Amino acid sequence: MDEKKIAVIGAGIMGVSALRRLSENRRFLLTCFERNYDLGGLWVYTDQTENDVYGRKINSAMYSNLQTNLPKQLMQLEGFPMDEECPSFPTHTDVLSYIRKVADQCDIRKYIKFNTEVQLVKPVSENKQDTKWLVTYGDKRKKNDSHVEEFDAVIVCNGNCSIPNYPMIDNEKEFGGLVIHSIRYRRPELFAGLNVAVLGASHSGMDISHDISKHA
């Protein structure tokens, strides 16, 4: 029986979902790389908005009062229903607890390297469709830490909410007030008594506008 080494990048809900299914096959030797100190991906809340204690950029767009804009029935994984007492639109704390509960029930924490950042993924052979892959990674708590390991396959589960899209605004630098992107938004109390303009009226814009309106 041939064994295959598989790397999973990210231990958010998609990474946990992938590990759950992959771990059912005994031929797969699994390693998951997670840059945070625990699993949960973007659902791990922090008050920090710029850099973490190791000087790495904070990429979480989670804010203190966030609730999902999808009902829990559309978010839960097959075979793992969310608790009945959980609200239809869960808070970020509810979702994080759910992800960790699934991971523990499936016993997949043992595959995860925490505080480990993937620095590079490249094919061993660019001309072969079934090439193996070289993954370069390091412990972000250690300066210049770097290791290279070969895998038969790589599954990227690092999400799509970590890179902000900044609009070009004429004369923005001449504005004397606070200008932040929603990825840096955490608590509405910061805007108490202020006149606030929110640019963008999609999911984040509408939700943050409602949140801020109780104070601004």
User: What would the pLDDT profile of 36-51 be if each residue is shown by its tens digit?
Assistant: 999 999 899 999 888 8
> Are residues 55 and 141 part of one domain?
yes
> Are residues 190 and 146 part of one domain?
no
Question: What is the count of structural domains for the chain?
Answer: 2
Q: In this structure, is residue 202 part of a structural domain?
A: yes
> Are residues 132 and 185 part of one domain?
no
> Are residues 207 and 151 part of one domain?
no
Q: In this structure, is residue 147 part of a structural domain?
A: yes
Q: In this structure, is residue 198 part of a structural domain?
A: yes
Q: In this structure, is residue 165 part of a structural domain?
A: no
Give the separation between CA 16 and CA 22, rounded to whole angstroms. 10
> Are residues 82 and 27 part of one domain?
yes
> Are residues 195 and 102 part of one domain?
no
Query: Which pair of structure tokens corresponds to residue 139?
Result: 């412990």
> Are residues 203 and 143 part of one domain?
no
| Domain region containing 13 | 4-156
Tens digit of pLDDT per residue, the chain (216 long)?
Answer: 689 999 999 999 999 999 999 999 999 999 999 999 999 998 999 998 888 877 777 878 899 999 998 999 999 999 999 999 999 999 999 999 999 999 999 999 999 999 999 999 999 998 888 899 999 999 989 989 999 999 999 999 988 777 888 888 899 989 999 999 999 999 999 999 999 999 999 988 999 999 999 999
> Are residues 149 and 179 part of one domain?
no
Give the separation between CA 142 and CA 138, rounded to whole angstroms. 8
> Are residues 105 and 14 part of one domain?
yes
Q: In this structure, is residue 188 part of a structural domain?
A: yes
> Are residues 80 and 138 part of one domain?
yes
Q: In this structure, is residue 57 part of a structural domain?
A: yes
Instruction: Residue 108: name the closest of 23, 170, 184 by CA.
Output: 23
> Are residues 193 and 98 part of one domain?
no
Query: Which of 129, 156, 183 is at the close of a domain?
Result: 156
> Are residues 35 and 8 part of one domain?
yes
Q: In this structure, is residue 145 part of a structural domain?
A: yes
Q: In this structure, is residue 166 part of a structural domain?
A: no
